[in-house]
Amino acid sequence: MKVNLEQVNKTFSKGKDDSLHVLNDIDLKIEAGEFVSLLGPSGCGKTTILNLIAGLDHPTSGEVIVNGEKVKKPGTDRVVVFQQGGLFPWMNVMDNVTYGLLLKKMSKKEAEEKAMEGLRMVHLGNFTQAFPHELSGGMKQRVAIARSLVMDPDVLLMDEPFAALDEQTRIILHQELQEIWEQTGKTIVFITHNIREALTLSERVLLMSTRPGEIKRSFTVQAARPRDPSDSVLVNLEKRVMGELEEEMEKVLKEEFGDDYRFKTSAVRDRNRDHMGDHI
């Protein structure tokens, strides 16, 4: 077992008497080399789970175990890729990618060789001297992925890394990430609120319910790679996941708009099918 959450609860205190129960009894087992997505509406606790695995935060109760050891703090065995890659703007691509390796006291020559390997994997071998402001959003995220890969982590934690990218760029990055996963065999925990993204990438999609967040359902995705979103297996699975996600979204909207809120007939589903919906 690579990543194991046992009966994890997380409560944030908001002032003296108020608290927010964000995660409720999360049990999660991720095998070595698995590609798992956590899918759920905004605010359900996805990033909180990732932070717990990364060691950036601690559970209120329960345990997070990676490679058989209780997680106490961040470590280079678990690297996070964020939505905004977090490159150093004053460093060129090569220096951004070698930064973590040099901190680990690797020689400059070896670090640069490793960085080249990582950059080639994301097809940016010709951009070593470019600065972040000279790169597109997709290229920046690819540098961020290369920078994480060269650290050779056991687990790659990705928090909506492609959410800010346009659709075409995202499709290309989905292909690259699938190739990287197949080549490296890394364990990947990928967070998204995008159903199609989760199904295109992962072996297993874990659907979370709204607060307090729980793992509501697990879907195994058995479609050939590289995945084609029009594959009938994926299309059928997408409908099932969408139905369940709709229920959760309705709960969120009722919380925001009050109990008299009525979910219009399949607003989510219709939007995804590119037509105006039956309720008009």
Ligand X SMILES: Nc1ncnc2c1ncn2[C@@H]1O[C@H](COP(=O)(O)OP(=O)(O)O)[C@@H](O)[C@H]1O
Q: Give which of ligand X, Mg ion, none residue 138 binds (C-beta under 5 to 8 Å, depending on kind).
A: none
273 residue type, one letter: R
The nearer residue to Mg ion, 46 or 140, going by C-beta atoms, is 46
Q: In angstroms, give the least distance from the CB of 105 to Mg ion.
A: 33
How many angstroms separate the CA atoms of 208 and 10, rounded? 15
Q: Does 22 interact with ligand X (rule: CB under 6 A)?
A: yes
- Judged by CB under 5 A, which stretch of 45-53, 68-76, 229-237, 267-275 contacts Mg ion? 45-53
The nearer residue to ligand X, 30 or 44, going by C-beta atoms, is 44
Among 8, 26, 34, 46, binds ligand X (CB under 6 A): 46
Among 28, 34, 45, 118, binds ligand X (CB under 6 A): 45
Q: Are 45 and 38 in contact (CB under 8 A)?
A: no
The nearer residue to ligand X, 46 or 147, going by C-beta atoms, is 46
Residues contacting 209, CB < 8 A, separation 6+: 40, 44, 215, 216, 248, 251
The nearer residue to ligand X, 12 or 88, going by C-beta atoms, is 12
Q: In angstroms, give the least distance from the CB of 121 to Mg ion.
A: 26
How many angstroms separate the CA atoms of 173 and 197, rounded? 11
Q: Does 44 interact with ligand X (rule: CB under 6 A)?
A: yes
The nearer residue to Mg ion, 83 or 175, going by C-beta atoms, is 83
Q: Give which of Mg ion, ligand X, none residue 192 binds (C-beta under 5 to 8 Å, depending on kind).
A: none
Residue corresponding to tokens 């997680």: 71
CB atoms within 10 A of CB 2: 20
Among 4, 37, 47, 141, binds Mg ion (CB under 5 A): 47
Q: Give which of ligand X, Mg ion, none residue 44 binds (C-beta under 5 to 8 Å, depending on kind).
A: ligand X
Q: In angstroms, give the least distance from the CB of 47 to Mg ion.
A: 3
Residues at the contact surface with ligand X, assessed by CB under 6 A: 12, 20, 22, 40, 42-48
